[in-house]
Structure 1
């Protein structure tokens, strides 16, 4: 069955049988875990996944080729970041007027987005995959690269550190081109692969804004005169990288708990804590501060939009971001942004439209992030972050001006209409 030859036959058979029954997302997680500890076993395991559960029928390769058509492949019905990215790219692609198709890669236990997808009736001449190498290397289950030979196959990968993992390199040869969503990710891929990498930015979706006072009353029940900071993260995105404790500690240092009229910090999280220690550290950082409110819940897009509209300033003292979509969404809503001045968010942040925080580069430590060996990321200057938080809270008119400049930046470069122009340039 392709599982490690050195394993006893009963174990090999049990693993193969279990994989037949496991949902695709569980197989995907299994490959990720195994790839961290035993690349050779992971490669064998991938060959098992290839023959089970592929959503692409055997007749797919026999479908007629449509050279002018462009398809976006990804988790179109899932709320995960790559799903959001794929939907945004497809939205922008359709604005170009080209024949466009969405190819949904099913994640049965994460299919919680109502998104219309038609069954494929042709093989597109150009295919852009928002699917990372651990899944690509499972074979045909996530992307039918063999059936798409002779077409233009493009990978659009998400990564958050300074160098692409060596374990991802075997996936490079399955694509004709490599694209990325930010200059930071493009540089990480290019330095590791020696391939040219084009940039197709992530789409920051436009939406109707709710007046702050109305949004605040609906989402938080706080008075309009209060200044509200927002820190948002997903436990599944590695709390060590997102560094919410850094933002919380900076807020606690900046604003005494004894001031009943001082600013508020809303800490929005979702996803299961990877460890009890991670959750405990976040609670410890809050230190019982009366104006730090934690919201741990999966919100609808409408609910999250209300929360963003209710705040005055987004705070992200991350160590590294592939792009920083939450920051960009708040900037599109006209909010001030205080964020580490490093990585993908610097494609849209500068001193004129936001408040970048200084940093120093430090080594990524064991257990902080997968493939940490030889990687560095930013340690934001906490004292500077404290001063910036005090600054924006006391100079609201200036902060609102930066927020207006931030909105103009995102509208000009990262909406679907703007990214449609990038599509046109890249497709030729």
Structure 2
């Protein structure tokens, strides 16, 4: 057991619970600083470590960071590379090693943002995590939080989903590599579209925990109303989740919605979300900032035309040949939820988006053309094969070695 782990055991054994609770605000930052110092490592110092490719993430979550871990694990496995999954749920609540030391790995891939990766290392013990470390981080504004730049030193390399996020990490104390999310067209081909609620249906999705101001559902409503007014033959479905945690924001959104705008605030199985997108005539994403834009990417894979703000992470895979791109100016960040502060983000042209909606309603052939082009774009840039080419050579080599070892392993009797 590490010195920090021994200290924690003594502290819990000798100090009354009330004293520990009062001391927590003082001790927690000290423990975090200790973990931060231990987590720094010379890049490539243990690059020869053997073992599996191990992915650490929130595999059961419904947010984008959790999805990224699942997609990466599946992409490796689709290419025949065995991986080990390590669920990080609960890592944020421990700053000292718990449990036995993990075995070495040929690559540790943390699909966790900087604070969560630091917490996970604190739980495992930074010096017990033997093997090259890669952090997969995503940020939505032009400049990442300053601590992230220095905390990059805990990784051999930081991976990000887009060039936009890479630029936000300029000055990081580790190399930064763009590794987009991989998608599987065959999964989306099997989705049965949900029945439409009107002759022409648009859909927009967001999570209240990811900042309603950033996702801009009010912009989607404004564009839809400008395009169709109260026409019952047109419908906008706003699929949200976690509105119960932000009741005032949800109530304000409902107050601004006419009868042909349906707001569904619920946690659905993702298969149901994909069916909703597949059954719609267009996905409307008038975001003010996106680190990547997984929902627009999945709409391409589903063959649903996309109208999206022409800014931030989506620019790596969306352009006017596969989507209708909405021009946008820049405006200071104004986030009533307080998730984002300072800097600037986009303000999409609502009138342009409204004209794009009417264009797709009046010209179904245009939508079909965009849908076909979108699927081709996914194959070209977001397939598991395209994803694998973006990985560092050390990880590719480790992956191929793991494939060979897996094939040579004797079959287990049942």
TM-score computed with the length of structure 1 as normaliser: 0.76
- Describe the shift of the 1:359–1:42 C-alpha distance in structure 2 as closer, same or farther (beyond 3 A): farther
SS at match of 1:140: helix
In the alignment, what sits opposite 2:235?
264
Which of 129, 139, 147 is equivalent to 1:159? 139
Which of 381, 390, 401 is equivalent to 1:413? 381
SS at match of 1:397: helix
Query: What is the Cα deviation at residue 282 of structure 1?
Result: 1.2
| 1:88–1:203 Cα contact (<8 Å) kept | yes
- How do residues 269-284 of structure 1 correspond to structure 2 at under 5 angstroms? 269-284=240-255
Query: What is the Cα deviation at residue 359 of structure 1?
Result: 0.4
- Describe the shift of the 1:12–1:386 C-alpha distance in structure 2 as closer, same or farther (beyond 3 A): farther
- Describe the shift of the 1:254–1:378 C-alpha distance in structure 2 as closer, same or farther (beyond 3 A): same
In the alignment, what sits opposite 2:86?
103
Residue 352 of structure 2 corresponds to residue 384 of structure 1: yes
- Describe the shift of the 1:195–1:66 C-alpha distance in structure 2 as closer, same or farther (beyond 3 A): closer
- Describe the shift of the 1:359–1:41 C-alpha distance in structure 2 as closer, same or farther (beyond 3 A): farther
SS at match of 1:14: helix
- Describe the shift of the 1:269–1:41 C-alpha distance in structure 2 as closer, same or farther (beyond 3 A): farther
- Describe the shift of the 1:154–1:208 C-alpha distance in structure 2 as closer, same or farther (beyond 3 A): closer
- Describe the shift of the 1:73–1:228 C-alpha distance in structure 2 as closer, same or farther (beyond 3 A): same
Query: What is the Cα deviation at residue 102 of structure 1?
Result: 1.8
Query: What is the Cα deviation at residue 156 of structure 1?
Result: 1.0
In the alignment, what sits opposite 1:87?
70
- How do residues 152-301 of structure 1 correspond to structure 2 at under 5 angstroms? 152-189=132-169, 191-193=170-172, 195-206=174-185, 207-209=187-189, 215-217=193-195, 220=196, 222=197, 226-257=199-230, 259-261=231-233, 263-286=234-257, 289-301=258-270
- Whole-angstrom CA distance in 1 between matches of 2:59 and 2:232: 45
Query: What is the Cα deviation at residue 421 of structure 1?
Result: 3.1
Residue 307 of structure 2 corresponds to residue 334 of structure 1: no
| 1:105–1:142 Cα contact (<8 Å) kept | no
Q: Once structures 1 and 2 are overlaid, which stretch shifts more, 84-93 or 417-426?
A: 417-426
Query: What is the Cα deviation at residue 16 of structure 1?
Result: 5.8
TM-score computed with the length of structure 2 as normaliser: 0.79
Any idea what the Cα deviations from partners look like across 1:122-145, whole Å, max 9, x if unmatched? 310221111112223336345643
In the alignment, what sits opposite 1:27?
none
- Whole-angstrom CA distance in 1 between matches of 2:49 and 2:335: 47
Give the RMSD, CA atoms, in angstroms: 3.1
SS at match of 1:216: coil
- Whole-angstrom CA distance in 1 between matches of 2:318 and 2:79: 27
Query: What is the Cα deviation at residue 382 of structure 1?
Result: 1.1
Name stretches of at least 5 consecutive residues in structure 1 with no aligned partner.
3-8, 18-33, 35-39, 51-64, 110-118
| 1:361–1:379 Cα contact (<8 Å) kept | yes
Query: What is the Cα deviation at residue 414 of structure 1?
Result: 1.1
Query: What is the Cα deviation at residue 15 of structure 1?
Result: 4.8
Query: What is the Cα deviation at residue 417 of structure 1?
Result: 3.4
- How do residues 139-158 of structure 1 correspond to structure 2 at under 5 angstroms? 140-141=121-122, 144-149=125-130, 151-158=131-138
